[in-house]
Amino acid sequence: MVDAERAGRILDAANDLITHYGYDKTTIDDIARAAGISKGAVYLHFKGKEALFEALLLRESERVMDDMFARIEADPEGGTLFQVYSHALYAAISNPLIRALSTRDRRVLGDFARRFANMVSPQESMMFGREFIAHFQAAGLIRSDLSPETVTHLLVYMRYGFLMSENVLPPEHTPPIDEIVAAMADMLSKGLSPDGQGNSEAGKAIMRGYIAQIRAAIEERRQRINQAK
């Protein structure tokens, strides 16, 4: 078994265990057993549970980004800001670990939750910020009579409310997630687009640039984790 393949198996096992039982209840022993290798072999790859978890978060972040990007590319209207936004949300909630992270799920994150509070994924720090919005405004994909800061805030509110309200809203009347996300994208589009949807291809071109930047940032973090080993 080559190194990268074994590291991947360790991360797969950790991902299963942590999303099911939580970070606190998962030990290196459990992970080694589930991956079918020795505990010593786990330490060859990761200096401890925390480093392993960081590497896992990075891998899952990258998967979410790939998923988001594939959804955007496959969608003819995928380059409009509102489709980008929906695809980003779908991708985030479709991945159990990233979903737990986005909703600050203490059951999964455990002790790590506090440390993680100040940790932001490369996607989060680059997408839907002021500069990002300004790009979309310049490409005619978003109303330019609003300041980029204001648009950023409105988008963050929606995203935060959407992700966190599981904790506050009674679940019994929650419409299917597809219906909510579609209505959200439609509302944002009617509310924040200039007349007409704007040119989806221009948005996709912007997104490709960001994806490349995010990939580079993920790679850099991965190097840092490896050097710390």
Question: Which CB, 20 or 160, lies closer to a second copy?
Answer: 160
Question: Which CB, 52 or 133, lies closer to a second copy?
Answer: 133
Sign of the C-alpha dihedral computed for residues 42, 47, 49 and 50 taken in this order: negative
Question: Which CB, 151 or 211, lies closer to a second copy?
Answer: 151
Q: Least separation, in Å, of the C-beta of 123 and a second copy?
A: 16
Q: Least separation, in Å, of the C-beta of 6 and a second copy?
A: 37
d(CA 225, CA 205): 31
Question: Which CB, 157 or 229, lies closer to a second copy?
Answer: 157
Residues that bind a second copy (CB under 8 A): 130, 146-147, 149-154, 156-162, 164-165, 168-169, 173-175, 179-180, 183-184, 186-192
Q: Which residues contact 77 (CB under 8 A, 6 or more apart)?
A: 83, 197, 200
Angle between helices 200-228 and 49-74 (to 10 degrees): 170
Q: Least separation, in Å, of the C-beta of 176 and a second copy?
A: 9
Q: Is 221 helix (H, G, I), strand (E, B) or coil?
A: helix
Question: Which CB, 74 or 168, lies closer to a second copy?
Answer: 168
Closest CA to 5 of 40, 39, 43, 45: 45
Question: Which CB, 173 or 196, lies closer to a second copy?
Answer: 173
- Tell me which H or E stretch contains 79: none
Q: Least separation, in Å, of the C-beta of 154 and a second copy?
A: 6
Q: Which residues contact 122 (CB under 8 A, 6 or more apart)?
A: 61, 214, 217, 218, 221
Q: Least separation, in Å, of the C-beta of 28 and a second copy?
A: 32
Direct distance between the N- and C-terminal alpha carbons of the chain, in angstroms, rounded to an integer: 21
Q: Least separation, in Å, of the C-beta of 55 and a second copy?
A: 25
